[in-house]
Amino acid sequence: MTAAANPPTIVQIGHGMVGHRFLEALADRRVPDRARVVVLCEEPRPAYDRVQLTSYFSGRTPDELSLVEAEFMTRHGIELHTGDPAVAIDRAARTVTARSGLTVTYDTLVLATGSYPFVPPVPGKDAEGCFVYRTIEDLLAIEEYAAGSRTGAVVGGGLLGLEAAGALKGLGLTTHVVEFAPRLMPVQVDEGGGEALRRTIEGMGVEVHTGVGTQEIVTGENGSVVAMNLSDGSVLDTDLVVFSAGVRPRDQLARECGLPVGERGGIVVDAQCRTPEDEHVYAIGECALAADGRVYGLVAPGYDMAETAAKAIAGETGGSFTGADTSTKLKLLGVDVASFGDAHGTTPGCLDVHYSDSRAGIYKKLVVGEDGTLLGGVLVGDADAYGMLRPLTGSVPPLAPEQLVLPSGAGAPAALGPSALPDDAVICNCLGVTKGAIRAAVTEHECTTVPEVKKCTKAGTGCGSCVKMLTTLVNEELEAGGITVDKGLCGCFVHTRAELYEIVRALRIASYAELLDQHGREEARGGEGCETCKPAVASIIASLAPTIGAGGYVLDGEQAALQDTNDHFLANLQKNGSYSIVPRVPGGEITPEKLIVIGEVARDFGLYTKITGGQRIDMFGARVDQLPLIWARLVDAGFESGHAYGKALRTVKSCVGRTWCRYGVQDSVRMAIDLELRYRGLRSPHKLKSAVSGCARECAEARGKDFGVIATSNGWNLYVGGNGGADPRHADLLAQDLSDAELIRLIDRFLMFYIRTADRLERTSAWLERIDGGLDHVRDVVVHDSLGICDELEALMADHVANYRDEWAETLNDPDRLRRFVSFVNAPDAPDPSVRFVPERDQIKPDLEILAGPTLPVRTLEGTPSA
C-alpha cells in the first residue's frame, strides 16, 4: 500500500479479539499512517479477552479484561464506533451501512464478525431464564438473574459449557451440565480424559449428565424456566438455563451481499484470507472458512489469520494461512486440561501410552508413531508438561514416552528442559512465537527481563499459558550470555523474599530501616525503600514478631508506615472511599445474640450488609472515623477482627458435619473453629483460605482452598495448594486418615514452610507449582521431616498462637492508636464529603455518578475525538 492524496479506507466489521489483533498488525506496519481505518463494533465496549471471560465472576472488571491499550485508537487515528454494528454491505458501491445510518465507503473491507452461540431448536428455548454465554453483557444478565435463582443447568459440556458451569457454581447455584455426547469435551479429549474430567468436576459438586439431549424447556405460569425435559425421559428441575452447545460462523452479512459461504457456514477465503469472489474483501477469525476447508474456533488460528490479512493489505509477500495447530491448554473449574496434535490417535499404526490416577483426578495419554515420533496427547488434572510436549510434536523426544507421562516431579520434566527444544519450536501458540524468536529478543534486541521480551515478541500476551516456559527460557538465555539474572525482591534488595525471611529470623531484625541499611543494595541504604519491599518486609516482621521481639501490633511504630491502605486502617477500602468491616465468625457458627448485634450495628451506622462466600457477614459503607465506634460495639459483643484486610488467614469455611447432616462422618464445625482460632492473624505472603468438609460430598469446597480438610471414616484428609480465585487450582492430597493432633501438626508445618519459602504475593497454589520438587518435596519436608526443620516450624507456629492479640481491641485500648482514624488530620471531626451513597434494594450503594471515570476516547468520521 502506497501513500496517496486521498488515502484509501479500510473498514473492519467487528472488534473482538481477532479484530483487534488485526488492528495491532496494521499498526505494526504503520498502515494507519497512510490509510483511514474505520471499525464498526456491535458491542458497547472495545475488544476484550473472551478467553478469560469467566474471570469476571472472580472479580476482574470489564476494564481489566480489555485488550485495548490506553490511547491506542487515538494514537493510530483509528475510528472506533462501539454499539453500532454493520447492517448491510453494498459490494458494487463498496459501502458499509451501520445501524445508526452511518455509511462508509471502503477500498478494503475486513470481516471479523466472529461467531454466534448455537441454541438447539427446542421448545421453550426463548423463555425467561434462558441465556447464552458469549459476551460481557450475557454475563451481566446471568449474574442479575442468578440472584433470584437456586439451580442452573448448562446445555453443552465443551470448553465454554464448562466455563459457564464454573460461573453458575461461583454464583452459588446448584449446577448441572447436560452434554449430548457420551463424554465431556468430546472434541478435545478422549474417553479416558473425559471420564477423569467428569469425576473431578462431579467431586466439586457439579452434576454431569452425558449421552442425553435437551428435549424441552418447561416454563411455569409466569413464563419463566422451571425444568428441562431430557431425551432419556428424566426431568431436571432448574430455574436458569445457559445454552453453550457450540458456535456457528457469523456470516449473514456475507451471504446477503453475495459472497460464497461453506456448506456448513463460514465465509470462503484463500490462503491470504481474501474472498475469491471479491479481491477487496477479507474475512478472519471464526467467521471465515479457511483455505483448508475448516472453520477455526480458537484464538490462536484467528490471530494467525489477522496477521496474514494485515500482511496482504500492507503489500507484503510471503504471508499465507493454510491451517493451524489446534492444541489448547486451559483450566476448567480449576482443572488443568490440555490436548495437542493427534490427540485421538487417528494416525495409522500409532500407539498409545497411558497414565491414570483416578484418586488424584489425573489422566495422561500420549500418541506415538511406530518410530517413536510424538504425534499428540491428552492431559487432564496435570498439564505441567504441556509446554514441553506440544513443541516436540512431530519429533522423537529425548525421553521414552513412558517417562513423559509420569506425574510432575517424578523425574521426566527435569530431564526434559527448554534446552531440548529446537529453535523453531513454537512457545507461544496464540501468537506463533518460536523459541528462536525469544532467544533473539535477548541476544539481538538486548532484552534483559521477561516484560521486555513480552513487549518485543508479544509472547505471553495471549492466553498466558506459556509465561512459565517463557520465563525459564529468558533466564536460561541471559545466564548463557554471562548476564546475571537479578532475582532480588526489588530495586532495594538483591535478596528474594525467602532469603529476607531467613535474614530477619536469624539476626532478629525487627525494623525495616535496619534491614534496609544493613542488607539493602548499596544505592538503597539510607533511603525510604519502595512500595514493593515495604509491605513484604512488614509481613515478614509480623510473621516472626514473637520470635524476634518485634511486638505483635501491626501498626506500632515504623510498622504502620509499611502497610498498604487496608492494613493501615484494619479495614477494606472500597471504591468510593468508605470501608468495610468483617468480624470473625469461626466456622460460620454464630449465636442469635451476635446476629442481633451485627444487625443493630449495621442499622445504626447505615451500613450495607452481605453474607460472604466464606460464611461471614460483611458490612460496607463506614467512614474511616466511624471504624473505632463500630469495632467497640462488636468487641463488646465478643467479636474480633476477621482480618479480611490483611495478607493473613481469612476464614475456615465448614459444612454442618455429623452433628446435623445424615451424611457427615466427622465434626467439621468443631474442627473449622479450632483451625480458624489457631491460625487467626497469621501474616503470610498472600491471603489464606481454608475449609473443612464433614464427608466426601465436599459441601465446604475444601479442595479449592489453600489448605482444605475432608473427613473420612478414619479421620481427616489434608489437601493443600488449592485456589478458587482468578487462576483456579484444585488442591492436592498431602496426607490422609489423620487424627486431630496429626492434622493440626501437619497444617502448622505446611503453613510455616510456605511463609518461610514463598515469594512476595505468591499464593500457595503458585508456590506449590514453582517450588523445586513440587508436592513431593513439600510432603518430604512437612510429613517426613527430610530437612530436619519440623520442630522449628512447629515452634514458630506455637509462638504465633501464644502471642495472638486482636487488632481491633488493641486499637480501642490505646488513645494514641485511635488518633489515626480521622478523614482529615486538620479537621478530625469533619466527615469526608466525597463518601456518598444512594438507595438500592432497601440498602445503600456507592453513588456511581461521582465515581464514573472517562470512557475510552474514539474518533468520529470527521476526526474529532469524543468520549
pLDDT in tens, 698-747: 999 999 999 999 999 899 999 999 987 656 788 999 999 999 999 999 99
Q: Do residues 626 and 652 share a domain?
A: no
Task: pLDDT band for 3, please (50, 70, 90 cuts).
Answer: very low
Residue 563 has pLDDT above 70, yes or no: no
Show the domain range for 176. 130-245
Distance CA 132, CA 490 (A): 45
Q: What CATH number is associated with residue 668?
A: 3.30.413.10
Task: pLDDT band for 851, please (50, 70, 90 cuts).
Answer: very low
Q: Identify the pLDDT of residue 820.
A: 76
Task: pLDDT band for 855, please (50, 70, 90 cuts).
Answer: very low
Measured at the alpha carbon of residue 609, what is the angle toward residues 571 and 615, in degrees to the nearest 5?
Answer: 80
CA 341 to chain centre: 26
HSE-CB at 335 with a 13 A cutoff on CA atoms is: 29
Last residue of a domain, which of 528, 548, 563? 563
Neighbours of 138 (CB within 10 A): 16
Q: What CATH number is associated with residue 589?
A: 3.30.70
Q: Do residues 254 and 271 share a domain?
A: yes
Last residue of a domain, which of 283, 313, 343? 313
Residue 409 has pLDDT above 50, yes or no: no
Q: Identify the pLDDT of residue 557.
A: 63
In the chain, the number of structural domains is 5
In a domain, 406, yes or no: no
Q: Do residues 540 and 637 share a domain?
A: no
Mean model confidence pLDDT for the chain: 86
In a domain, 423, yes or no: no
Q: Identify the pLDDT of residue 859.
A: 33
Residue 99 has pLDDT above 90, yes or no: yes
Contacts of 451 by beta carbon, 8 Å cutoff, 6+ apart: none
Q: In what order do the strands lie in the sheet with 214-219?
A: 214-219, 225-230, 235-237
Residue 555 has pLDDT above 80, yes or no: no
Which whole number is the average pLDDT over 128-142? 94
Distance CA 692, CA 818 (A): 37
Alpha-carbon torsion angle 333, 703, 379, 337, nearest 10: 10
Q: Do residues 79 and 105 share a domain?
A: yes
Positive or negative CA dihedral for 310, 316, 317, 318? negative
Predicted TM-score (pTM) of this structure: 0.57
Q: Which three cell numbers stand for residue 818?
A: 485511635
In a domain, 77, yes or no: yes
Q: Identify the pLDDT of residue 411.
A: 43
Measured at the alpha carbon of residue 391, what is the angle toward residues 390 and 395, in degrees to the nearest 5?
Answer: 100
Residue 399 has pLDDT above 60, yes or no: yes
Q: Which of 264-273, 347-356, 531-540 has the lowest mean pLDDT?
A: 531-540
Distance CA 540, CA 551 (A): 13
Q: Do residues 799 and 835 share a domain?
A: no
Which whole number is the average pLDDT over 80-91? 96
Q: Do residues 801 and 722 share a domain?
A: yes
In a domain, 426, yes or no: no
In a domain, 339, yes or no: no
User: Which tens digits make up the pLDDT trace of 437-480?
Assistant: 888 988 888 887 776 888 888 887 766 667 767 877 888 888 88
Q: Do residues 686 and 791 share a domain?
A: yes
Q: How many percent of the chain have pLDDT more than 90?
A: 48
Q: Identify the pLDDT of residue 861.
A: 34
Q: Do residues 607 and 674 share a domain?
A: no
Distance CA 476, CA 471 (A): 9
Last residue of a domain, which of 533, 563, 593? 563
Q: How many percent of the chain have pLDDT more than 70?
A: 90
User: Residue 380: helix, strand or coil by DSSP?
Assistant: strand
Which whole number is the average pLDDT over 317-345? 79
CA 292 to chain centre: 34
Residue 654 has pLDDT above 80, yes or no: yes
User: Which tens digits make up the pLDDT trace of 518-548?
Assistant: 998 887 787 777 777 888 888 888 888 888 7
Q: What CATH number is associated with residue 78?
A: 3.50.50.60
Residue 415 has pLDDT above 50, yes or no: no
Contacts of 755 by beta carbon, 8 Å cutoff, 6+ apart: 501, 543, 682, 683, 684, 685
Which whole number is the average pLDDT over 638-664? 91
In a domain, 177, yes or no: yes
Q: Do residues 654 and 796 share a domain?
A: yes
Q: Do residues 265 and 305 share a domain?
A: yes
Distance CA 462, CA 428 (A): 8
Residue 421 has pLDDT above 80, yes or no: no
Q: Do residues 691 and 827 share a domain?
A: no
Residue 330 has pLDDT above 50, yes or no: yes
Q: Which residue has the cell 458499509?
A: 96
Q: Do residues 836 and 815 share a domain?
A: yes
Residue 347 has pLDDT above 50, yes or no: yes
In a domain, 611, yes or no: yes
Distance CA 392, CA 388 (A): 7
DSSP state of 42: S
In a domain, 687, yes or no: yes
Q: Identify the pLDDT of residue 426.
A: 78
**Nearest CA among 297, 55, 338, 298 for reference residue 196:** 338
Which whole number is the average pLDDT over 472-495? 80
Distances, alpha carbon 144 to alpha carbons 49, 97, 137, 138, 331, in Å: 21, 34, 11, 10, 25
Q: What does residue 70 show for φ and ψ, rounded to 5 degrees? A: -55, 135
CB contact at 8 A, 303 and 432: yes
User: Residue 205: helix, strand or coil by DSSP?
Assistant: coil
Q: Identify the pLDDT of residue 535.
A: 83
